[in-house]
A and B are shown apart, each in its own frame.
Chain A
Amino acid sequence: MNHSVLCYLEDTVKKYPNKIALTDATGDITFAQWRNMGLCLAEEIRRKNHKRAIPVFVYLPKSAMSLVAFVGVLYSGNYYTPTDVKFPFEKAKSIINALEPQVIITNRECAKKLMDGGIPSDNMIFVEDVDMTRGNLDSSLYLDTIIDTDLAYVLFTSGSTGVPKGVSIAQRSIMDYIDWAIHEFQIDETTIIGNQAPFYFDNSILDIYLCMSTGAHLHIIPEMYYAFPVKLLNYIVEQKINFIFWVPSALIGVANSGLLETIDCSCLKKILFCGEVMPNKHLNIWRKFVRAEVYANLYGPTEITDVCAYYVVNREFEDDEPLPIGKACKNTQIMLLDDQDNLITTKDAMGELCVRGTGNSVGYYRNPEKTMQAFVQNPLHNNYQELIYRTGDLAHYNEYGEIMFDGRKDYQIKHMGYRIELGEIETAILGIEGVQNACCIYNENVSEIVAVCKASENLTEMEIRKKLVNILPKYMIPTRYYLMEQLPLNDNGKINRKELKKHIMEDA
């Protein structure tokens, strides 16, 4: 009986101990090594803190070692939270504050940044100090204590007040997701995955756990390659990558480069994407030059374990047509609810997309208030407790009965695949001395975040930007800045976002 995602790893190690599991810029790791290194690390974690079900912060550069750390944390009976070491310290600090990790797995170089920021080193484990060469360790003592409702990870997403929200995901949710994906996309040991998603981003869950459970080979493609399409495509061809699950921005960049026409990427058989709207304009370029077996549009927020709906592209689309998000994954139900919480079953009526199923998160980490707002009793009955997740996304059914995504109810945006609350950027800008008011607008036409600020006379746009790079990750930094003497207000005295947006769209 599979009661942990680690059961999948144990099975794979039995079948393919010496097959390469992970490849990064520094080399390869086999499935047996992955497991054994993880177990060595688990021992070290237990030595540091013998408790179970404690939060462990993984602060390492994106690499195979990060995935060893994840497995180590899971074997130790705990759950992990990764972040990007390239983010400003403030971002890491806000996650540490929300998570209060009992153990931090890092290396000496990255730890310096944390220690300089005042994070004590006594609960840190430095991976270079851990002997990970021992083999054939017994995992049963660890495994027997894990059950599938134990947390596996907490991933933090943007929160409108500037405090990140930790989405807590249990082991069974990953297993449910992976079981569906293996079956739906026929993943096995011959699959060679080209990973794009950062490990703090839930799209990576599919890459990591498909590899772990099927014996597929996972290539952690160097992040820099995504800026250099020639290098990226050559890597795919050389490594014979046949499966990718990328954020649309990465696929759009490649389509725009024009290189698909000249570089033969026919090794790619399965091309999946998720994280934001994939324009057919760019997908059509891909479909024209790469005759993959499967193109699939996946949809879902972090709160339901990455994906709850999917559409396997099965017909032609005009460049300006929207792509469906399709139907619910197996063992998941999607309900479109109208303003009165009635279930929508007819076509064209728009409602909020809500999700029920094993994939649902158990809530926001140490945040019962936000949890209660988003995870609510199924409004269609009151017979027993059944929580559904309200995504805040709007959708409708088309003539084929497929779900079509219609945008957000609030100020959350998707920019380069990242989920961002404009309020979080506004909070950061308002925190800068001299700024009196601020409003952020997203210009979807050119994919730009625009900041409109009211500030004291001596503050320049450049200075605001310079301050922001120390607070926010790069993908959240506005591209354009406007300084105004007064922000336009609506009748309620609130910032008139509609009017600002109109100006900005015209100006661009």
Chain B
Amino acid sequence: MSEIMEILSELRPECDFRSSTNFMEDGLLDSFDVVALVDAFERAYAIKIDALDILPEHFISIDAMVQLIKKSGGAI
């Protein structure tokens, strides 16, 4: 969890992810960020995220991202 938060705040240091319940709707992440996040998760957890799983609902919160990483076989 804290590792994801670290990745997020490195990516968007100006954003307060803690106070948001939906990163996508609140506009904290855009398409550039999602592409960068997929890349960062794949590197950090040595996983390959299936393109079919790259959907907005997997990027709305830290919990959703944890589920995505687990689903992709990452140890988290």
Chain A residues with CB under 8 Å of chain B are 86, 223-231, 253, 256-259, 462, 465-466, 469-470, 474-475, 479
Interface SS majority for chain A: helix
Residues 13-24 of chain B, each 1 if its beta carbon lies under 8 Å from chain A, else 0: 110000000001
- Identify 30 residue pairs between A and B in the complex whose beta-carbon atoms are under 8 Å apart, listed by A's number: A223-B30, A223-B31, A224-B30, A224-B31, A225-B31, A226-B31, A227-B31, A227-B33, A228-B55, A229-B51, A230-B55, A231-B55, A231-B56, A253-B35, A256-B51, A257-B51, A257-B54, A258-B51, A259-B51, A259-B52, A462-B9, A462-B13, A466-B13, A466-B14, A469-B12, A469-B14, A470-B14, A474-B30, A474-B32, A475-B32
Known: A462-B10, A469-B14. A230 touches B30 (CB 8 A): no
State A261–B68 Cα separation when bound (angstroms): 22
Closest residue of A by beta carbon distance from B50 = A258
What residues of chain B lie closer than 8 Å to A226, measured between beta carbons? 31
Closest residue of B by beta carbon distance from A222 = B31
Contact B30 A86 (CB under 8 A): yes
Closest residue of B by beta carbon distance from A461 = B10
What residues of chain B lie closer than 8 Å to A259, measured between beta carbons? 51-52
Does B47 interact with chain A (Cβ within 8 Å)? no
Closest residue of B by beta carbon distance from A86 = B30
Contact B34 A227 (CB under 8 A): yes
Residues 36-76 of chain B, each 1 if its beta carbon lies under 8 Å from chain A, else 0: 10000000000000011011100000000000000000000
State A225–B33 Cα separation when bound (angstroms): 12
State A231–B54 Cα separation when bound (angstroms): 9
Contact A230 B51 (CB under 8 A): yes
State A462–B52 Cα separation when bound (angstroms): 32
Contact B30 A228 (CB under 8 A): no
Task: Report how many residues on chain B are interfacial, defined by Cβ distance under 8 Å.
Answer: 18
State A228–B32 Cα separation when bound (angstroms): 11
State A298–B35 Cα separation when bound (angstroms): 25
Shortest distance in angstroms between B72's beta carbon and chain A's nearest beta carbon?
14
State A217–B30 Cα separation when bound (angstroms): 26
What residues of chain B lie closer than 8 Å to A469, measured between beta carbons? 12-14
Q: Which of B14, B35, B52 contacts A227 (CB 8 A)?
A: B35
Q: Which of A86, A228, A256, A475 contacts B34 (CB 8 A)?
A: A228
State A225–B24 Cα separation when bound (angstroms): 12
State A253–B14 Cα separation when bound (angstroms): 27
Shortest distance in angstroms between B41's beta carbon and chain A's nearest beta carbon?
13
Shortest distance in angstroms between A487's beta carbon and chain B's nearest beta carbon?
24
State A184–B24 Cα separation when bound (angstroms): 41
State A158–B24 Cα separation when bound (angstroms): 29
What residues of chain B lie closer than 8 Å to A225, measured between beta carbons? 31
Closest residue of B by beta carbon distance from A256 = B51
State A227–B56 Cα separation when bound (angstroms): 9
Q: Which of A228, A465, A466 contacts B56 (CB 8 A)?
A: A228
Excluding A224-B24, A465-B13, A466-B14, 7 further A-B contacts by CB distance (< 8 Å) are A226-B31, A229-B51, A230-B54, A257-B51, A257-B54, A469-B12, A470-B14
Contact B54 A229 (CB under 8 A): yes
State A228–B52 Cα separation when bound (angstroms): 9
Closest residue of A by beta carbon distance from B37 = A227
Closest residue of A by beta carbon distance from B35 = A227
State A164–B63 Cα separation when bound (angstroms): 41
Contact B10 A224 (CB under 8 A): no
State A470–B52 Cα separation when bound (angstroms): 33
Shortest distance in angstroms between B73's beta carbon and chain A's nearest beta carbon?
16
State A204–B73 Cα separation when bound (angstroms): 40
Shortest distance in angstroms between B35's beta carbon and chain A's nearest beta carbon?
5
Shortest distance in angstroms between B29's beta carbon and chain A's nearest beta carbon?
9
Shortest distance in angstroms between A422's beta carbon and chain B's nearest beta carbon?
19
Shortest distance in angstroms between A43's beta carbon and chain B's nearest beta carbon?
34
What residues of chain A lie closer than 8 Å to B32, measured between beta carbons? 227, 474-475
Q: Which of A230, A253, A465, A479 contacts B52 (CB 8 A)?
A: A230
Closest residue of A by beta carbon distance from B31 = A227
Closest residue of B by beta carbon distance from A223 = B31
Shortest distance in angstroms between A217's beta carbon and chain B's nearest beta carbon?
23
State A462–B10 Cα separation when bound (angstroms): 7
State A228–B51 Cα separation when bound (angstroms): 8
Shortest distance in angstroms between A15's beta carbon and chain B's nearest beta carbon?
36
Shortest distance in angstroms between B6's beta carbon and chain A's nearest beta carbon?
10
State A223–B35 Cα separation when bound (angstroms): 12
Closest residue of B by beta carbon distance from A479 = B36
State A225–B54 Cα separation when bound (angstroms): 10
Shortest distance in angstroms between A332's beta carbon and chain B's nearest beta carbon?
33
Question: Across chains A and B, which 7 residue pairs bring their CB atoms closest together, nearest first?
Answer: A257-B51, A227-B31, A227-B34, A466-B13, A474-B32, A226-B31, A259-B51
What residues of chain A lie closer than 8 Å to B55, measured between beta carbons? 228, 230-231
Closest residue of A by beta carbon distance from B32 = A474
State A36–B52 Cα separation when bound (angstroms): 42
Shortest distance in angstroms between B68's beta carbon and chain A's nearest beta carbon?
13
